[in-house]
A and B are shown apart, each in its own frame.
Chain A
């Protein structure tokens, strides 16, 4: 158990809809990272938050947005969903933001868009 909690585990929705994925980091971790993994694809970095502030953006679509709240949990919002957004979405947390501490990943949310 990594200590990172992601909810829900599974989500099935229709094209055009909007969903929110939630991540609770490990106790004491200030950084939250979001990744997307499509079927048979590698892990794609989406966005990084540290202590409530956005620190880095990766291949995140404009239809996607995220935020980190004062209690350090984070939410990833996906809107105007398309079939191609079906994927596993992973959240990871870390105590720092400098690359000198490990990332601990949650078990992911499996999103299916029909």
Chain B
């Protein structure tokens, strides 16, 4: 199963953009890249996912490198409510199950 590497923690100022990096050098051609976040005392929340092209939704943007060995989650204007643990995950095996790592803890300063 392909693994991902993320920084343990990042800080951002409120209302500024945040770029959360993820490396996945062993990704296979059919692996989708998924991003989730978990706020304290809540279940994980789907953020965005993509295969090859950059993706946008109301929550964030996902920029995928041309060789697909890395990706970046972009929060365009961080708010205090965006403080959470962000997980970059590749589905394991052929069942779509997600194996969560440690993720990146994002702190947002007012």
- The interface of chain A, by Cβ under 8 A from chain B, is 2, 31, 33, 35, 42-45, 48, 50, 55-56, 58, 90, 92, 94, 96-108
- Chain B residues contacting A108 (CB-CB under 8 Å) are 43
Residue contact B96 to A99, C-beta cutoff 8 Å: yes
Given A42-B100, A42-B102, A43-B100, the answer on whether A98 and B43 have CB atoms closer than 8 Å is no
**Complex interface: stretch among B17-25, B73-81, B87-95:** B87-95
A105 and chain B: residue at smallest CB distance:
B43
| Chain B residues at the A interface, C-beta cutoff of 8 Å | 31-32, 34, 36, 38, 42-46, 49, 51, 90-91, 93-102
Given contacts A42-B101, A42-B102, contact A98 B46 (CB under 8 A): no
Contact across chains for B44 and A43 when beta carbons are under 8 A apart: yes
Q: How many pairs of residues, A versus B, come closer than 8 Å at their CB atoms?
A: 71
Is A97 in contact with B100, judged by CB distance below 8 angstroms?
Answer: no
Complex: chain B residue closest to A88, CB-CB? B43
Name 18 extra pairs, CB < 8 A, besides A31-B96, A99-B96.
A2-B43, A33-B97, A42-B102, A43-B100, A45-B98, A48-B97, A56-B93, A56-B95, A92-B43, A99-B90, A99-B94, A100-B96, A101-B96, A102-B46, A103-B44, A103-B46, A103-B98, A107-B42
**Cβ-defined contact, B32 with A100, below 8 A:** yes
Q: A90-B44, A106-B43, A108-B43 are in contact. Are A99 and B31 (CB under 8 A)?
A: yes
Given A43-B44, A90-B43, A105-B44, A98-B96 contact (CB < 8 Å): yes
Q: Which residues of B contact A33 (CB under 8 A)?
A: 97-98
